[in-house]
Amino acid sequence: MPADPLSAAPGAAPCPAPNPARDRGPWLQPLGQRISGVPLGWLILFLLFANTMLAFPQIDQALAGLFYTEGIGFGARGAIWERALYGSVPVLMVVGNLALVALWAVNRWGGHRLLGLTGRKLLLLLCLLALLPGLLVNQVFKEHWGRARPEQVEAFGGDRPFTPAFVRAEGKGGSFSSGHVAAAAYLIAVAHLLRGPSSPWVAGAALYTGLIALARMAAGGHFLSDVVTSVFLVLLGYLALRHLLCPETDSACRPGPR
């Protein structure tokens, strides 16, 4: 994104425009072009995933079947590790976001720059949490999409037909997409924004998100397409909000409010 010389510090030279595609080959450079902050390659990847799951819906059923045992059901449901992971998400959402607000207050009134958390970054994260996991996933999709969960479909002992991903169904299945995985993916965005893309915190948040996804699938709560869609939605939303609230320029060009 071009630097904005009007927002640079007085007397300072304009910040150079970032060029994220400069190290890519000529064939890959178009994939780095951004649409409202989201790389074109990410959008194409999401569309490829969505169309693959529509064209081959049996992938969802086959992977869900790995966790299902005839006469037993989804054996991981109710297991200690599954319940621990399931219950950890709301705890982390409450504790983690209270900690973010407290950290911002320390920075704001104590004159610190801990983790570089500014008012603008806090606003970005809270908006992301409210709009993506909160509104889009839990209130729009889960409440109105109607897709039956694996444990509810006929192939796995339920009484409802299987519906492919991205196809709206009747009823209140609540499978599409995963609220717990969306909340876990939010932590990836937090780590990325505050610690940078190469931080081990990003890797740790991604691992945690993967474990939450595995737990939800193993318990018969979600299909693969449900959990992957949630990750895509949150991370694409994060990139778009970051473009809007924290443009990718040198911090000297657009200092955020503390």
The C-alpha atoms of residue 65 and residue 196 are separated, in whole angstroms, by: 38
Q: Under 8 Å CB-to-CB from 229, ≥6 apart: which residues?
A: 49, 50, 165, 176, 177, 178
Q: Model's pTM, two decimal places?
A: 0.84
The C-alpha atoms of residue 178 and residue 194 are separated, in whole angstroms, by: 25
DSSP for 164-207 reads -TT---SS----SS-HHHHHHHHHHHHHHHHH-TT-HHHHHHHH
- Tokens of residue 31, six digits: 């994939």
Is a pLDDT exceeding 60 seen at residue 131? yes
Selected residue with higher pLDDT from 26 and 2: 26
If DSSP codes are grouped into helix, strand and coil, which group holds residue 221?
coil
Average pLDDT, the chain: 86
Mean pLDDT score, 89-96: 97
| The pLDDT of residue 50 | 96
The C-alpha atoms of residue 143 and residue 145 are separated, in whole angstroms, by: 6
Q: Give the pLDDT confidence of 41-77 residue by residue, as tens digits.
A: 999 999 999 999 999 999 999 999 999 999 899 999 9
Q: Give the pLDDT confidence of 182-236 residue by residue, as tens digits.
A: 999 999 999 999 999 999 999 999 999 999 999 999 999 999 999 999 999 999 9
Question: For the chain, which domains are there?
Answer: 75-93+126-238 (1.20.144.10)
Is a pLDDT exceeding 80 seen at residue 150? yes
**Between the CA of residue 86 and those of 61, 72, 198, 217, 245, what are the distances in Å?**
22, 21, 27, 11, 31
The C-alpha atoms of residue 219 and residue 154 are separated, in whole angstroms, by: 16
| The pLDDT of residue 112 | 85
Residue pair 74/156 in contact (Cβ under 8 Å)? The answer is yes
